[in-house]
Amino acid sequence: MSEVAEMLPALLVAVPILLAAVPIVLGLRLERTGWSVAAVTTTALTAATVYLAAAVYETGRVVHVLGGWGETENRPQGVGIELVADEFSVLIALLVTITAAGALAYMRAGGPRGNTFYGGYLLLVGGLLGLSLTGDVFNMFVFLEIVGLATYAMIAAGDGPESAVAALKYLILGTVGASLYLIGVGFLFMATGALNMEVLGEAIPQIAEEGGSDLTLLRAAFAFIFVGFALKVAQWPLHTWQPDAYQHAPDGVTPVIAALVSTVSAYALGRIMYNVFGPEFLTATPYLTEIVVAVGAVSVVAGSTLAVIQRDVKRMFAYSSVSQFGLVVAAYGLVTQTAFVGAVVHLIGHGVMKAGLFIAAGLIAVGYGARTVDEYAGLAKNRPFAAGATALLLIALVGIPPSAGFIGKWYIAVGAVQAEAWTVAAVVFLSTMLTIAYAARLLEKMYFTPATPVESPHPPGPVAADGGEPAGRDSIRRGSPEAVSFGMLAILVTIALSAVVIGFAGGAFFEWLEPFTSEVFTE
């Protein structure tokens, strides 16, 4: 493999973290350089990830051992810290870089401004790439916290004080989640004496066979790690931070957080479950898969039920995330190849669709002044492009073929049938019904309910200053379409179309992940 490709994993993590300081330094002299720095960096990172993906496609895994602490004669594997790019991690890295670059198109006109904000944004991208590429369980904790810290700051960048409260709530719960994961890592280290994922992956089946007190440690480790990630991925009943965080984050930030932060945490859970513990440990431990599946399945039902009763659109999409990640976790618990591919496809598809839906929510709030479901009335007539793209994304989220939502659910359902887990198959069906319930509510408002009368900003006659209706109440004021830039609309339409295109790519995903899954699922 080429030397450039071997350097890339390290550069992908280091470059955005180092460049995070650049907007702040430049900000001392120049104003508003942050966006340009972030745009150039994320575009370059996207190009680098594509190159890395091509290298992985040609030669298989690309491993970078930091500081040249690789395997030598008198130094066993796993002493140095590894960054690993394989089929699974490259896929997530691609999602991270492309979404991060795309969301900037929205932020140019609509997002939070300021050089410090873009410094934090680059830190978030660096942390997410580190989380996807790391091959070491302790470094995963560090990147988890870097992502967390950057996310808390991003959420608190909102205008109102509510965002600070939401960020603090997320900070406390997120820290507990990461700390529980760290205890799990401690137990793993006690049982095996290793932190490298590959070394752990070889040591754990041996211990599982021998049994004894080390096996108990491993089981405790899995329990702590799973609960920690359940908090980070927002599984019911540990999801309570997510709706607040998504609702109160700035409109430009929510797409990035919703599409990436929980997605990459869910990826990390899959990595730990399949690369570190391995399918044999998962199936051999009593009640383990049952509990994972139950947590996922309950999240699906609870999340979508709560989404149905929400009035605020961003909050509704946030609860919908709880349910979609429930599907992914349930699919992880099935331990079949098809369900695993389904979980990965659903992760990526959900990331794309949620990014699109939150961009649509932000765009409509700016351009139409609508934030609650009722205010979406008459949107299709007044803003046909925004409404059309939103409708397309909602239909994709329900899972009407061909769309990203369908293909993921299809693989999960097939995997459930293969594993003879009929409850999961039923839950996939039920989640589709419940998704229709909240998607249809929005579609009906947009297309079939006439717009509520709009009070003109300059009412005829004398302006009532003596206790008359205030002219600019939030519920009836409509934003102007000029506030929506071309970039905002273009990125929304692009994402909506790509949600459909991914729907045709199911087979391609299966083939792409084949080397990874066949290695993990060898019986």
The site for other proteins (CB under 8 A) is made up of 138, 141-142, 145, 148-149, 152-153, 156, 161-162, 164-165, 167-168, 171-172, 175-176, 179, 182-183, 186, 189-190, 195
Q: Can you tell me the distance from the alpha carbon of 430 to that of 416, in angstroms, rounded to the nearest whole number?
A: 14
Spatial contact of 226 and 269, defined as CB atoms under 8 Å apart: yes
Could you give the maximum distance between any two Cα atoms of the chain, in Å? Answer: 89
- 195 vs 439, which CB is nearer to other proteins? 195
Question: Residue 142 carries which side chain, given as an amino acid letter?
Answer: V
Q: Can you tell me the distance from the alpha carbon of 5 to that of 60, in angstroms, rounded to the nearest whole number?
A: 11
Q: Can you tell me the distance from the alpha carbon of 517 to that of 270, in angstroms, rounded to the nearest whole number?
A: 12
Minimum distance between the CB of residue 383 and other proteins, rounded to whole angstroms? 29
| CB atoms inside a 10 Å sphere around CB 249 | 28
Q: Token pair of 11, please?
A: 């550069």
Minimum distance between the CB of residue 165 and other proteins, rounded to whole angstroms? 6
Minimum distance between the CB of residue 202 and other proteins, rounded to whole angstroms? 19
Minimum distance between the CB of residue 84 and other proteins, rounded to whole angstroms? 20
Minimum distance between the CB of residue 205 and other proteins, rounded to whole angstroms? 23
- 186 vs 402, which CB is nearer to other proteins? 186
Minimum distance between the CB of residue 49 and other proteins, rounded to whole angstroms? 26
Minimum distance between the CB of residue 59 and other proteins, rounded to whole angstroms? 31
- 189 vs 385, which CB is nearer to other proteins? 189
- 6 vs 136, which CB is nearer to other proteins? 136
| CB atoms inside a 10 Å sphere around CB 160 | 10
- 138 vs 447, which CB is nearer to other proteins? 138
Minimum distance between the CB of residue 254 and other proteins, rounded to whole angstroms? 18
Helix (H) or strand (E) holding 82: strand 82-85
Minimum distance between the CB of residue 329 and other proteins, rounded to whole angstroms? 24
Phi (first) and psi of residue 503, to 5 degrees = -60, -25
Contacts with 422 (C-beta within 8 Å, 6 or more apart), sequence order: 416
3-state secondary structure of 74: coil
- 174 vs 408, which CB is nearer to other proteins? 174
- 195 vs 389, which CB is nearer to other proteins? 195
Minimum distance between the CB of residue 278 and other proteins, rounded to whole angstroms? 23
- 154 vs 308, which CB is nearer to other proteins? 154
- 81 vs 425, which CB is nearer to other proteins? 81
- 186 vs 487, which CB is nearer to other proteins? 186
- 144 vs 491, which CB is nearer to other proteins? 144
Q: Sign of the C-alpha dihedral, residues 176, 207, 340, 509?
A: positive
Q: Token pair of 22, please?
A: 């650049």
Q: Can you tell me the distance from the alpha carbon of 487 to that of 58, in angstroms, rounded to the nearest whole number?
A: 35
Q: Token pair of 65, please?
A: 């051992």
Q: Token pair of 82, please?
A: 């590894």
9: left (phi over 0), alpha (psi -120 to 50) or beta: alpha
The DSSP annotation for 506-519 comes to: HHHHHHHHHHHHHH
DSSP-derived secondary structure letter, 212 = S
Candidates 406, 321, 309, 327; CA nearest to 357 is: 321
Q: Token pair of 188, please?
A: 């793993």
| CB atoms inside a 10 Å sphere around CB 245 | 29
- 175 vs 285, which CB is nearer to other proteins? 175
Any idea of the CA torsion for 496, 407, 328, 509, to the nearest 10 degrees? -90
| Burial of 266: CB neighbours in 10 Å, binned 0-12, 13-18, 19+ | buried
Minimum distance between the CB of residue 2 and other proteins, rounded to whole angstroms? 32
- 161 vs 468, which CB is nearer to other proteins? 161
Minimum distance between the CB of residue 185 and other proteins, rounded to whole angstroms? 8
Q: Token pair of 507, please?
A: 């087979």
Helix (H) or strand (E) holding 65: strand 62-65
Minimum distance between the CB of residue 363 and other proteins, rounded to whole angstroms? 26
Contacts with 462 (C-beta within 8 Å, 6 or more apart), sequence order: none
Spatial contact of 273 and 288, defined as CB atoms under 8 Å apart: no
Q: Can you tell me the distance from the alpha carbon of 426 to that of 303, in angstroms, rounded to the nearest whole number?
A: 16
For tokens 């109160």, name the residue. 248
Spatial contact of 246 and 316, defined as CB atoms under 8 Å apart: no
